Structure 1
Amino acid sequence: MSIAYAGVRPLVLLSCIVIAATATASAGPDDALHLYAGLGYGHDDNLLRVPDNFPGFDNTRADSWWSREGGLIFDKTYSLQRISLVAKLSKYDFDHFKQLNYDGKDIQASWYWQVGNHLNGKIGATYNQTLAPYTDFASDQRNLRRSRSRYAEGTWRFHAAWQARAGFQRDVYAYELAGERYNNRSENTTELELDYIARSASTVGLVARRVKGAYPFPRPIGNVLLNDDFTQDELKARVKWNVTGSSSIDALIGYLWRDQPSYGPGRTRGGAGRVNLSYQPGGKTSYTASVSRDFAPLESTLVSYTLNNGAAVGAQWDATAKIHVNADFSAERRNYNARQALNVPGGANLRDSIRNASVRATWTPRPLLHLTAGVAHQSRSGSIVIGTGSFRSNSITLSASAQF
């Protein structure tokens, strides 16, 4: 991996890390309120995900950035009620593509409620402002993505071996650039679930879910304006199985029906779901793995969703009580449904794949102080028909964060 550093700035960050490591935090790990501060540096040799054999914007592919963030974290339990609040503000400055500089926001508020021994749930809201990924968006302009979420759910344990759950969530996404506003959308998700609870604490249940998506701006395709609104119904089985004391399986598998008239015949159906496995044999190493098949939104001017098949593996090594190393790898094949207006010939290559690999080491010299270094690789094999070219990207990040 070839990574270039920008001047002496990494040395400045390392100096700040050394100073932070010798500082004494005034708050203890169990305190309810903490102030948060963080400093980060990153470098990516293909920041804007320019396809292979294409010139970079400004004949430049690589860029470095600095990030600073601060905020507060509050988490306290009052009898049976728990309140959790997170509010963080951040600032990102890029060395070359200065037009990408932005202020990030991350706000989360949750109330974990409980009434007696049989009723509990969660109510909350989130707001996030960050730079949208350039994986499927060819531009060197800043494109902030603002997402808002509100949710409420409740579980009723009406029998020692049975419980029922109901939930609702509304997600809203908005993009800064006028050319990307066609990806603005809202999604309302309603869920009903019935679970059987075994004596081992393993559960098996049935989940019925409906997702209604609405796009406020019709998407122009030639002289045609397409409405990407959709309705997706799902019926899935949820299994949480404690196989042994060191291994478990968490699965949500079933069937879905998606109605989105702007694509082909407008109706899609098929199996979908995710299976997560975890294995903690004891000692210093633990492992995770997952496989999935599901629909996912795509931040692209050409296609707004894909049917994805993915797999991922991960491992954590606790080198010492204060040093942890994480390694992760994931691969995902994305299958596109062509719009009627594209008139794509049958048999065309309407798929691509994305691979991600990363290694991250975290040192915690004090309970509320974290120093992290990581390297990552991302690659995509593109689809000529859809217009997604193949690319490779390598990055490195350094960060220091502390709570007070």
Structure 2
Amino acid sequence: MQAGIAAALHSHGIGKGCGETVRLRIGVVQLGVCLLIAAQPVLAAEGDTFTPYVGYGIYHDDNISRQPDDGVRSGDTWRKTTVGIRFDKEISRQRVRVDASLNDTRYDDFSRFDNDGRRLLANWNWVMGNRFSGNVGTSYIETLTPFNDVAADGTPLPSSVRTQRRSFANGGWHFHPAWRVTAGVSRDDVNYEDIPSARLSIDASEVGIDYIARSQNRIGLVLRHSDATYPNQLPGLGSDYTQDEVKANVKWRLTGKTDLQFLGGWARRRFDSQVGRDFTGPDARLTANWAATGKTSFTLAAWRELGSGIYRYDREAIVGEPDDLSSNYSRNTGASIKANWQATAKMGFDAMLQSEDRDYNRIDRSDRYRKSTLGMTYLPLRQLNIRLSVYDQRLNSDATSATTYRTKGFQIATRYEF
């Protein structure tokens, strides 16, 4: 079996040059396949509690080095193989969800970017009686540093495996049919394998109160405090900071087809020793969802937020991944529009336009970021998903010419669920 897998990987340009590293990577994929096969009997007995899956994708970027138009641009194509399993189970009134996967990524030309990644998302949605509920969860994501991650001075970060860990717990008490008090804590840790000084840890806590109407519309107030530290920072940098926020938290359905989400108010960031970089001002995000027809929907968003590794999330789940991880400070002002069209039961199309201006306070740098994507999703079978998409990404920066670039790319990704 191992020889067959090795041949298959080699045919796709994966595992060139035999040796212990290749055998280890083959073993990882082989283990994943064995786990999927072993899980098959469980599926028959447990229904959809366990869902093993495999994925394979081909990706291309024509400017991996993120060079300006007059620079030495280099593109590449890479292939990613994924094996994983998803667990979703309701136990009485509790619900447990886990998604774990391993992936193997190989580049055609830039073999130094080859990497093995891991991903784990776990959440326990707990309920106690009729008045108490919340979530406890963790996530672990190990992947290659994105090519567009750059330091505050505009220098691209070297290719390195980035590990993101997050643990959180939150809960709410319905002390009245229309009122709820909430509290939560979280810890985020981001580490770059080859850049120990860039490690970032954020401890956060929050309390809030919500008014919930009979229609389930919600309006509330949130107080949040964060402590960010760089445990391995170089002497004299003093990049640690604290942040306090007071924000309104609103989820409101205007009509049967339109709803609004708003999280915004005031934020204050104070650095331990960096003079002149403190910030106090508005910090908010507004999102509108509109189901125009039974097959067409739109999402519009506008924001003015402080960046630097703070997750955007609500009490139910993490929303996306942290951004601006490589920068200690940025004030991001932007907007986006997303459109989805479910043409048939098996085929859907989507498009997205995003524009964001990033101001790096008092370090003589500001960026303008633009991205557009166009995609198609096809489901030839209930278990099989095929995704095709193209993108155009631009960054204009006044820091250095090396941080102004344009890149285009595409992906063809498949996923089969057993």
Q: TM-score under structure 2 normalisation?
A: 0.82
Q: Partners in 2 of 1:162 and 1:359 — Cα distance?
A: 42
| AA of the residue aligned to 1:271 | P
Name the SS for the 1:181 alignment partner.
strand
Letter in 2 for 1:276: T
Equivalence for 1:231: 242
- 2:146 aligned residue: 133
Aligned to 2:302: 291
Q: Give the one of 163, 171, 187 matched to 1:154.
A: 171
User: Which of 237, 241, 259 is the equivalent residue of 2:252?
Assistant: 241
SS of 2:232's equivalent? Answer: coil
Aligned to 2:231: 216
Q: 1:253 aligns with which of 264, 277, 284?
A: 264
Moved over 6 A (4+): none
Report deviation, 1:217: 2.1
Output one character per residue of 1:221-242: Cα deviation in whole Å (capped at 9) or x when no partner. Answer: xxxx212111000000111111
Contact 1:136 1:388 in 2 (8 A): no
What letter is aligned with 1:42? Y
In structure 2, the partner of 1:22 is none
**Per chain length, whose mean CA-contact separation is higher, i.e. which structure has more relative contact order (CA < 8 Å, sep 6+)?**
1
Counterpart of 2:394?
A: 379
Residue in structure 2 matched with residue 338 of structure 1 by the alignment:
362
Task: Give how far 1:140 is off.
Answer: 8.7
Q: How far does the alpha carbon of each residue in 1:107-149 deviate from its partner, in whole angstroms, 9 at most, with x for none?
A: 1121111011111111111111011112143569531110111
The amino acid across from 2:360 in the alignment is Y
1:86 alignment partner, one of 87, 91, 99: 99
Name whichever of 375-384 and 131-140 sits farther off: 131-140
Q: Match of 1:99, SS? A: helix
Superposition deviation, residue 160 in structure 1? 1.1
CA apart distance, 1:336: 0.6
C-alpha distance in structure 2 between counterparts of 1:134 and 1:369, whole Å:
30
Q: For 1:261-306, what per-residue CA distance to the aligned partner results, in whole angstroms no more than 9, with x for missing partners?
A: 4444242100001000000022311000000111112344xx5221
Q: Which residue of 2 aligns with 1:185?
A: 200
Residues in 1 aligned to 2:383 and 2:140: alpha-carbon distance in whole angstroms:
25
Structure 1 Cα separation of the partners of residues 244 and 68 of structure 2: 36
Q: 2:62 aligns with which of 45, 50, 56?
A: 45
C-alpha deviations, 1:183-206, integer Å up to 9, x for none?
Answer: 211001111110001122111100
1:195 aligns with 2:219: no
Residues 69-128 of structure 1, C-alpha deviation per residue, up to 9 Å, x if partnerless?
001111010111111111100000000100000001001121111011111111111111
Is residue 50–residue 86 contact of structure 2 (8 Å, CA) maintained in 1?
A: yes
Q: Does structure 1 retain, via aligned residues, the 8 Å contact 2:167–2:186?
A: yes
Unaligned ranges ≥5, structure 2: 1-10, 14-39, 309-323
Q: CA 1:324 to 1:30, structure 2 compared with 1: closer, same or farther past 3 Å?
A: farther
Match of 1:54 in 2: 71
How many matched pairs? 361
Q: TM-score, normalised by structure 1?
A: 0.85
- The 1:262–1:357 alpha-carbon spacing in structure 2 relative to 1, beyond 3 Å, is farther
- Which one-letter code corresponds to 1:64 in the other structure? T
CA drift at 1:9: 6.6
Measured after TM superposition, the shift of residue 157 of structure 1 is: 1.2
3-state SS of 1:53 partner: coil
Q: Does 1:67 align with 2:80?
A: yes
| Mapped partners of 1:218, 1:168: distance in 2 | 25
Which residue of structure 2 aligns with residue 402 of structure 1?
A: 416
Indicate conservation of the 8 Å contact 2:277/2:362, yes or no. Answer: no
